[in-house]
Amino acid sequence: MQKTVLITGATSGIGLACARKFAKNGDKIIITGRNRKRLDEIEKELKAEGTEVLTLAFDVRDREAAVSAMATLPKEWQEVDVLVNNAGLALGLEPEFEGNYEDWETMIDTNIKGLLTMTRLIVPGMVERNRGHVINVGSVAGDAAYAGGAVYCATKAAVKALTDGLRIDVADTEVRVTNLKPGLVETNFSNVRFHGDTERAAKVYEGVKPLTGDDIADVALYAANAPAHVQIAEVLILATHQASPSLIKRKMLTP
C-alpha cells in the first residue's frame, strides 16, 4: 500500500537517505528543509525516477513557518501516513561549563522543540484516522552522555522520553511510534558540529567503518512496513566497532 511520508531535514544525511528509500518503495514523499535550492534538486531527482514529491522549505525551529507550511498541503497530501522526525544537529564539543549559548539554543530548538512542533501538527490527523507511524531519529547519545556532548546528549535523551511518552499516549490507537538511535554515522553531522572545520570532522571517522545514512534509512523503511500488529519501538544501530557513545575501537583499515 502506497504511503504518504513526510521527512524533516531531508536535504542531506539520514533524511535524504530516507527520502530515497521510501521513494524506491513506491511511496509519496514530502521533503522539508531550510535549503530551497537543495530541495528543488532532490525533487527533480526523485521525480525523474517516477516518485510523487512535494517540497516544503521551512525551519522546524520556526513554529509559525511550520504551521503555515502544513496549511499549504494540497488535499491529496494532507493524510500523512509516516512522519520521520529527522531534523537535528549537534554543535560544538566544549565542556558544558564552556559551551556556547547560541549553540545550545539551536540544538534545543531543533532537536526538541522542532520535533514537538511537527508531532503536534501531524499526529492529531493520524489519531483521527486511526492509522499512522511516527519515526523519531534519536541517537545512542540519548542513552549516555559523553565528554563535550552534554547538551546534545540531553536533547537526544529528550527525544527518547518524548517518543516513549507519545507511544503511551497513542496506545489505544493503531498509530505506531519508533525511536531510531544511530551511533557513528558518516554524514555532514560532524562538519556541522565543528562549524565547517572539514579536517576536524574527518578525524571523527578515522580508523573505523561508520554507518551510512542508507543503513539508518533501511531500518526506518523496515519499521514502517512491518505488519500492522508489530511496533518496532526502539532500535539501537551501531557500527560494528562501536560499543557505546564514547567507546569506538579504531584501527587502520585496509583499502
**Are the C-beta atoms of residues 180 and 82 closer than 8 Å to each other?**
no
CA 222 to chain centre: 15
Q: Which residues contact 170 (CB under 8 A, 6 or more apart)?
A: 123, 126, 127, 177
Crossing angle of helices 63-71 and 115-129, in 10° steps, is 30
Instruction: Give me the catalytic one of 101, 146, 152, 205.
Output: 152
d(CA 55, CA 179): 24
Crossing angle of helices 36-48 and 13-24, in 10° steps, is 20
CA dihedral over 187, 193, 198, 203, signed as positive or negative: negative
> Whose CA is closest to 186, among 202, 197, 174, 165?
202
HSE toward the beta carbon, residue 239, CA cutoff 13 A: 21
146 is catalytic: no
d(CA 112, CA 87): 10
Residues tagged active-site = 152
